[in-house]
Amino acid sequence: MAVAMTGPQFDAPHAAAQVPGEPPAQKVTVHIVAERFRFSPDEIRIRRGATVEFHLESDDTDHGFRILGTDIDRVIPKRGRGAITVVFTPDHAGKYAFECSKICGAGHDFMHGVVVVED
Ligand SMILES: [Cu+2]
């Protein structure tokens, strides 16, 4: 006997939920190494709507990771003490500066980077 299909059909699975008119949700993993006195990489580009999972580790002493305009401010433990994970979902396109938030030496003030969120 035939079964009448009504209501929602079974579509092929989607990678992620998508709101019409919005870019597809995306998760990006970024590994960053902090060392005196830089972050590598120091420029990260993502699409609006994406969630970034940063994995941060130090190649020397303790550093910090602060994203300006957010409440993210974490300590990156010194070399050998493992990585930290920071999840960041920017709510609008634009540039989010980040910087070292733990005094780490003479070049501390130069230790910064940017997350560029593209529409
Ligand atoms: Cu520093």
* Dist. CA 80 → ligand 1 center (Å): 18
Task: Give all strands (DSSP E) within the chain, no chain letters.
Answer: 26-35, 38-40, 43-47, 50-58, 63-67, 73-76, 84-88, 94-99, 112-118
* Dist. CA 39 → ligand 1 center (Å): 10
Predicted pLDDT of residue 50: 95
Question: Over pLDDT 90: what percentage of the chain?
Answer: 77
25 confidence band (pLDDT: 50, 70, 90): confident
| 38/71 Cα distance (integer angstroms) | 21
* Dist. CA 109 → ligand 1 center (Å): 7
* Dist. CA 74 → ligand 1 center (Å): 12
> Is a pLDDT exceeding 70 seen at residue 13?
no
Predicted pLDDT of residue 1: 53
115 and 83 in contact (C-beta within 8 Å)?
no
CATH code, 26-118: 2.60.40.420
Higher pLDDT, 13 or 3: 3
> Is a pLDDT exceeding 80 seen at residue 20?
no
How crowded is residue 111: how many other Cβ atoms within 10 Å of its Cβ?
A: 23
Q: Domain-by-domain residue ranges, the chain?
A: 26-118
Predicted pLDDT of residue 23: 55
SS3 17: coil
DSSP string across 46-78 = EETTEEEEEEEEESSS-EEEEETTSS-EEEEPP
* Dist. CA 108 → ligand 1 center (Å): 4
Higher pLDDT, 75 or 11: 75
